[in-house]
Structure 1
Amino acid sequence: MVVRRLTRYVGREVLLAWLGVTVVLVVVLLTNRLIQFMADAASGDIPPEVIFTLLGLKAVANLGVVLPGSFFLGCVMALGRLYRDSEMTAMAGCGIGPGRVYTGIFAFAVPLAVLVGGLSLSLGPAAERQADQVLANAQQQARFGGVQPGRFLSPGDNVTVYVERIDDDGTLRGVFAERRVDGTRQIWVAERGERQINGVAPGEFLVLGDGWRYDGRAGQAAWRVMEYAEHGVRIAEPDPVDPGVGRDAESLAALWASEAPGARAELQRRLSFPVMVLVLALGSLPLARSDPRSGRYGRVVTAVLLFMIYFNLLYTASDWLASGVMPRWLGVAWVHGLALLVVLTALRGMLGWQWRRRRAA
């Protein structure tokens, strides 16, 4: 009973530390994305209302990469605290060896590996595809939606629009628009206007009210002048919204069916993240071992460096496989083999140290 409670205690400490690290990393990631999207919205590249939609999709798309690292750091932090507070020594006196500690760790590592596999193989790429589609649609809609008073805007080819001010309801005031077609200048001046997207006549339209239209050629006196109560001007032709699918957004079925080296590399890279969770879980215990007088964050810094090396090697191996430098039969498996060898060497050193310590006692 005592052994089971202590095992659950280790698992709970790991879980709490992992959740804390995950929240911090996700907040940092989303903050960086938010700054980027806000800058795009301020420059008129995307409408502000899609920012949080893009944030949510990007969060899901990147969780498969964030979770292995956050779990590794959480394990090292939780186990390191147990070592510094001499709780590991006390548990060893109660018969809690490395095997029991690993039971608590892998109680969360195995389900997490399954979750990471689902995210990296299916949910993450699907969210990435959806984010690309939303971003492409938003950029198309923002071509005219980003109009600002006192500034000239070119929402389409050979079209220029100027607005003096914009009312709270979105009505444009003091509108000037110009379009050049085969050397002819078409100029509209209106008291008011609004932007419309018409499903019957595809494209973006500027509907003007109470204004004048001038048609003619520069340097000639034969200009045609018309007054209108309401007039529609097509300011942009409809564009096919097809953002394309990047390799990191391709579906699992497409990657599995493709024989291209890039597809094989991407598939192996996605499969590597759940494997990474298990390898890092195994390596967290020997890395976290420290004496009570050691620094609080020394092991965490080491864990960050080791994870970055592991992560970068994985992406480098994937690039080598995609470019044909690495043979297909080897793929990225050698990275996990190298990491596992380092972990087993560290684990052997830890177990040998504990055996010598018990023998000396």
Structure 2
Amino acid sequence: MKRLDRYLLSQLMAIFGFFALVLVSVYWVNRAVLLFDKLIGDGQTAWVVLEFTALTLPNVIALVLPVAAFAAVLYAINRLSGESELVVMQAAGASPWRLARPVAIFGLIVAAMMLVLVHELVPASRARLAERQEQVSQDVTARFLTEGSFQSPTEGITVYIREISDQGELLDIFLFDARSSTSETIYTAEKALIVPSDAGPKLVMFDGTAQTLRKSDTSLALTRFADFTYDLGGAIGAKVRGRVDWDEVSSLDLIAPPPELLAATGSTVAVAHLELNDRLAQPLMAPVSALLAVAAMMLGRFSRLGLWRQMVLAVLALIGLHSLSNVATSMTRADPALWALLYMPAAVGLIFVAAALSWAGRRRKSPAVTAAEGAA
């Protein structure tokens, strides 16, 4: 690697580290505050809040890295221009294509980081987060059941437990369910147990009665039972883990998803391949964003006021590129057969980069060189 490449690459990596740290911190703190309010309000500990925020971190980093790479290139080129280093490089014969080479290497390094994130860390963290959310939801369900007092975990539900034994048995339980608009039911039992299940926690009551008042004719129905199962999770709105999302599945499983995985997701092989192509396309945005920034900055000449016009152009180009990416994503979600559109934003970005660098190279040729080339 040439000395010029090493110098520019070291500048870009240092600035990239700063911007990545700042952007990740902003996103992460914002997410942490929302989780803190929700989880602490549900009675969870600070350790659970820290665990949840840590599990959201890989996805935040994957979202931030292309933007941080873009901002690092803009800042580095503008600073080199302001300190006249860029002018010296160009006067020494460095063309826009030559100056873009270390930026391309820098973009590939960021893309390699994103490959690890989107194919390994993000799916693993999302799967673990979904699992922990289900566990915490069931813990919240049990927390509402306290002995010696009437509890109303949600509108229309009232629970009273005389005592909770050392074995976890709920002794002398009273449950009033008035959620229905047509009837009200009072359940009483000598004892009950909370049993976790895939469909949410269940309250299993033993040796009790169910008194149902029908509001239409004010009739009362009395039912005695030896055991009765009540959907406690559904009654208080506990979160139940339903279908598995594709973003929780590793990339290797997306290549040839087994039938049990398709059943768990309730989807098709085409959708799995769409998710895989989406993950392959995401890292491409890092080098394209970096090259987009350097190509736009090369369009300007030295100015003591800075290259703010070129910076505005670069930002607008990036916004347009992300808008195109959103459109492509929407179209592919509607029809997975259009998966090739996921690579369109990167292709369009590279075309813009090539055109801008070629235009900048022609503009920087001196009139003498241009005349000599024409005579030849």
Give TM-score scaled by structure 1 length: 0.71
2:135 to 119, 137, 145: 137
- 1: CA distance, partners of 2:9 / 2:356: 22
Asked if the contact 2:95/2:361 (under 8 Å) is kept, the reply is no
Correspondence for 2:56: 58
Matches within 5 A, 1:13-52: 13-44=11-42, 48-52=46-50
> Mean alpha-carbon deviation: is it higher for 239-248 or for 268-277?
239-248
1:277 to 260, 282, 286: 286
Asked if the contact 1:159/1:177 (under 8 Å) is kept, the reply is no
User: Once the 2 structures are TM-superposed, how far is the Cα of residue 134 of structure 1 from its aligned partner?
Assistant: 1.3
Asked if the contact 2:150/2:158 (under 8 Å) is kept, the reply is no
* Identical amino acids, percent of aligned pairs: 20
1:185/1:204 CA distance change after superposition, 3 Å: closer
Q: Deviations along 1:91-129, whole A, 9 cap, x unmatched?
A: 223344434433432343222212211211222122111
Asked if the contact 1:60/1:123 (under 8 Å) is kept, the reply is yes
User: Once the 2 structures are TM-superposed, how far is the Cα of residue 143 of structure 1 from its aligned partner?
Assistant: 2.7
- 2: CA distance, partners of 1:243 / 1:358: 71
- In structure 2, the residue corresponding to 1:14 is in which secondary structure? helix
For 1:312, the aligned partner's letter is S
User: Once the 2 structures are TM-superposed, how far is the Cα of residue 246 of structure 1 from its aligned partner?
Assistant: 1.7
Correspondence for 1:343: 353
User: Once the 2 structures are TM-superposed, how far is the Cα of residue 33 of structure 1 from its aligned partner?
Assistant: 0.8
Correspondence for 2:274: 265
1:185/1:321 CA distance change after superposition, 3 Å: closer
Correspondence for 2:252: 253
Correspondence for 2:331: 320
Matches within 5 A, 1:285-300: 285-289=294-298, 290=300, 291-295=302-306, 299-300=310-311
Q: Deviations along 1:226-277, whole A, 9 cap, x unmatched?
A: xxxxxxxx99579996353223223213322256443333222211122222
For 1:122, the aligned partner's letter is E
Q: Deviations along 1:50-96, whole A, 9 cap, x unmatched?
A: 21111111111232222122111111111121122221011223344
- 2: CA distance, partners of 1:30 / 1:69: 15
User: Once the 2 structures are TM-superposed, how far is the Cα of residue 284 of structure 1 from its aligned partner?
Assistant: 2.4
Asked if the contact 2:296/2:310 (under 8 Å) is kept, the reply is yes
- 1: CA distance, partners of 2:333 / 2:231: 43
For 1:274, the aligned partner's letter is P
Give TM-score scaled by structure 2 length: 0.69
The CA RMSD measured in Å over matched residues stands at: 4.2
Asked if the contact 1:83/1:89 (under 8 Å) is kept, the reply is yes
- In structure 2, the residue corresponding to 1:131 is in which secondary structure? helix
- 1: CA distance, partners of 2:246 / 2:92: 52
Q: How many residues align?
A: 315
Correspondence for 2:241: 242
For 2:48, the aligned partner's letter is V
- 2: CA distance, partners of 1:81 / 1:24: 19
Structure 2, unaligned runs of 5 or more: 163-171, 178-183, 214-229, 258-267, 372-376
> Mean alpha-carbon deviation: is it higher for 285-294 or for 74-83?
285-294
User: Once the 2 structures are TM-superposed, how far is the Cα of residue 145 of structure 1 from its aligned partner?
Assistant: 3.3
- In structure 2, the residue corresponding to 1:154 is in which secondary structure? strand
- 1: CA distance, partners of 2:150 / 2:315: 48
User: Once the 2 structures are TM-superposed, how far is the Cα of residue 347 of structure 1 from its aligned partner?
Assistant: 1.1
Correspondence for 2:365: 355
1:326/1:354 CA distance change after superposition, 3 Å: farther
User: Once the 2 structures are TM-superposed, how far is the Cα of residue 37 of structure 1 from its aligned partner?
Assistant: 0.5
Asked if the contact 1:203/1:236 (under 8 Å) is kept, the reply is yes
- 2: CA distance, partners of 1:326 / 1:198: 44
- 1: CA distance, partners of 2:335 / 2:231: 47
- In structure 2, the residue corresponding to 1:355 is in which secondary structure? coil
1:90 to 69, 88, 91: 88
Asked if the contact 1:321/1:327 (under 8 Å) is kept, the reply is yes
Asked if the contact 1:77/1:288 (under 8 Å) is kept, the reply is no
- In structure 2, the residue corresponding to 1:331 is in which secondary structure? helix
User: Once the 2 structures are TM-superposed, how far is the Cα of residue 326 of structure 1 from its aligned partner?
Assistant: 6.4
User: Once the 2 structures are TM-superposed, how far is the Cα of residue 187 of structure 1 from its aligned partner?
Assistant: 9.1
Correspondence for 1:179: 175
- In structure 1, the residue corresponding to 2:175 is in which secondary structure? strand
Asked if the contact 2:150/2:159 (under 8 Å) is kept, the reply is no
- In structure 2, the residue corresponding to 1:242 is in which secondary structure? coil
> Mean alpha-carbon deviation: is it higher for 22-31 or for 179-188?
179-188
User: Once the 2 structures are TM-superposed, how far is the Cα of residue 34 of structure 1 from its aligned partner?
Assistant: 1.1
1:216/1:236 CA distance change after superposition, 3 Å: closer
- 1: CA distance, partners of 2:52 / 2:360: 45
- In structure 2, the residue corresponding to 1:37 is in which secondary structure? helix
1:122/1:8 CA distance change after superposition, 3 Å: same
Structure 1, unaligned runs of 5 or more: 164-175, 189-195, 206-213, 220-233
2:72 to 68, 71, 74: 74
- 2: CA distance, partners of 1:142 / 1:100: 60
For 1:293, the aligned partner's letter is R
